[in-house]
Amino acid sequence: MYEIRIHSRGGQGGVTAARMMASAAVKDGKFATACPFYGAERRGAPIVSFVRIDDKPVRIYSQIKKPDMIIVLDPTVMDTVDVLDGLKEGGKIFINTHDDISFPPGFKVSRVDLTGIALREDLIVSGSPILNTPVIGALARLGLFTRESGVKAITETFTDPRNTNAARAAYDEVII
Binding residues for other proteins, total number by CB under 8 A: 20
Residue 2 found at the interface with other proteins (CB under 8 A): no
Q: What type of residue sits at position 50?
A: F
**Minimum Å distance from CB 57 to other proteins?**
8
Q: What value does the CA radius of gyration of the chain take, rounded to a whole number of Å?
A: 15
Task: Sketch the per residue contact string, 51 through 80, with other proteins: x for CB under 8 A, - otherwise.
Answer: ------xxxxxxx-x---------------
Identify which of 23, 5, 17 has the alpha carbon closest to the alpha carbon of residue 156. Answer: 23
Identify which of 34, 91, 39, 49 has the alpha carbon closest to the alpha carbon of residue 66. Answer: 91
Q: Residues 11, 36, 86, 116: which binds other proteins (CB under 8 A)?
A: 36
CB-nearer residue toward other proteins: 31 or 103: 31
Identify which of 97, 101, 119 has the alpha carbon closest to the alpha carbon of residue 174. Answer: 97
Question: Applying CB under 8 A, which part among 29-37, 74-82, 86-94, 119-127 lies near other proteins?
Answer: 29-37
In three-state secondary structure terms, 38 is coil
Residue 22 found at the interface with other proteins (CB under 8 A): yes
Mutual angle of helices 161-173 and 147-155, in 10-degree steps: 150
Task: Sketch the per residue contact string, 116 through 155, with other proteins: x for CB under 8 A, - otherwise.
Answer: ----------------------------------------
CB-nearer residue toward other proteins: 5 or 19: 19
Return the H-helix or E-strand segment holding 135: helix 134-141
